[in-house]
Amino acid sequence: MTSQSVSVAGRTLRVTNLDKVLYPATGTTKGEVLTYYVTHADQILPELADRPVTRIRWPEGVAAAHFFEKNLPPGAPDWLPRVTVPTPGSSRGRETITFPLVTDLAALVYLVNLGSLELHVPQWRVGAEGDPLPPDRLVVDLDPGPGAGLAECAEVALLVRERLEAVGLRTRPVTSGSKGMQLYADLEGTRTADEVSAVARSLAEHLAQERPDLVTAKMTKALRPGKVFLDWSQNNGAKTTVCPWSLRGRDRPQVALPRRWAEVEAAAAGEEPLTQRTIAEV
C-alpha cells in the first residue's frame, strides 16, 4: 500500500493508493476523486455542515463490493468531529449512533480517503449541543421509472416548483448523479419531520391525481413505467439523501449536481437534453 502525508486545513493526513482506479470505465483514480472533493470543498462543505454523514464506501472501486457506514469509522482520529444522536427504530436495535461531522476540508479528505465516494445526509442539522433540530429543508425526490428519464423529471420538476412557490417555498434542482433529480426547498425549521413528510406526501398525491400519465406517488413497480415517482418519504427524520456535490458509485464518476432552472426548463421543453454530469464535466 503506497501512502503519502499531506497537510490539509492544519492537519497532517496520510492518504493512500492515489493511483488506484476506482472507476474502471473511465480510469478515474482515487487521486482524481480526492482532487475533485478538494477542488469543490467550498460548494460541498456548506451542504454537509452540521449534518450527520452516512457514507457509502467502495474501498476497491465501483466494480467491487461496497457498504454503508453510519457510525464513526474504526480508528478515527480524536480530532474528527462527531455527534451521537438517537436512532429510534434502528434495524440493529441500537438506541444511538455516533456519526462523523464534516466541518472542514480535513474531515472531508479523511472520509474520502477511506473510499467514501457517496456522502448522504438527513434534511435536519444538529444544534450546538449535538441535539437534532427540526428539518431546515423539504426534499422531493424525482425517480424515473422504465421508459422515463431526465426529460420527464424536468417536466415534473416544473410542476413541483409551481406548487411550492405558490405557498412561498423557493426550490433548487439537483440532478442526482444516478437516474433522476431532487428538488430542495429551504424551511424555517419550525415543523417536525412528520409534518414536512405529510406536506410532501400531499403534494405527491395531488400531482399524481392531476397528471396520472406522468406522475405516481406510489413505489409499486407496476405503476412506474413511463412515469416519475415522487418519493416524498425522504423527509422522514431517519432517512437521508445524497448530498449535493457528492460523487456517486456508478459506472462513471457522476456528481449530484445543482442545476440552473433554465437548464430544467429547456429540458422540459425538449430544447436541450439534461444529462447527469461527471467530475470531468463539472
| Pair 255, 156 in one domain | yes
| % of the chain at pLDDT higher than 90 | 90
| Pair 105, 147 in one domain | no
Q: Which domain holds residue 32?
A: 3-121
Q: Is residue 130 part of a domain?
A: no
Total domains in the fold of the chain: 2
Residue 185 in this model has a pLDDT that exceeds 80? yes
pLDDT at 219: 81
Residue 121 in this model has a pLDDT that exceeds 80? yes
CATH number at residue 66: 3.90.920.10
**H/E element holding 193?**
helix 193-210
| Pair 142, 202 in one domain | yes
pLDDT tens figures, 51-109: 999 999 999 999 999 999 999 999 999 999 999 998 865 556 678 999 999 999 999 99
Q: Is residue 142 part of a domain?
A: yes
Report the candidate in 211, 212, 221, 216 with the shortest Cα–Cα distance to residue 231. Answer: 216
Q: Which amino acid is at 150?
A: L
Q: What share of the chain is helix, strand, coil (3-state, %, to 5)?
A: 25, 25, 45
Q: Which of 95, 121, 147 is the last residue of a domain?
A: 121
| Pair 220, 147 in one domain | yes
pLDDT at 90: 59
Residue 221 in this model has a pLDDT that exceeds 90? no
Q: Is residue 132 part of a domain?
A: no
β partners of residue 35: none
Decide if 48 contacts 119 (C-beta within 8 A).
Answer: yes
Decide if 134 contacts 191 (C-beta within 8 A).
Answer: yes
| Pair 171, 99 in one domain | no
Confidence class for position 3, pLDDT limits 50, 70, 90: confident
Span 125-136, average pLDDT: 95
Span 207-212, average pLDDT: 96
SS3 string, 34-91, reads: HHHHHHCHHHHHHHHCCCCCEEEECCCCCCCCCEEECCCCCCCCCCCCEEEEECCCCC
When mean pLDDT is compared across 33-42, 93-102, 112-121, 262-271, the lowest value belongs to 93-102
Confidence class for position 9, pLDDT limits 50, 70, 90: confident
Q: Is residue 152 part of a domain?
A: yes
| Pair 146, 107 in one domain | no
| Pair 116, 161 in one domain | no
Residues with Cβ within 8 Å of residue 74, at least 6 apart in sequence: none
Q: Is residue 97 part of a domain?
A: yes
pLDDT at 224: 82
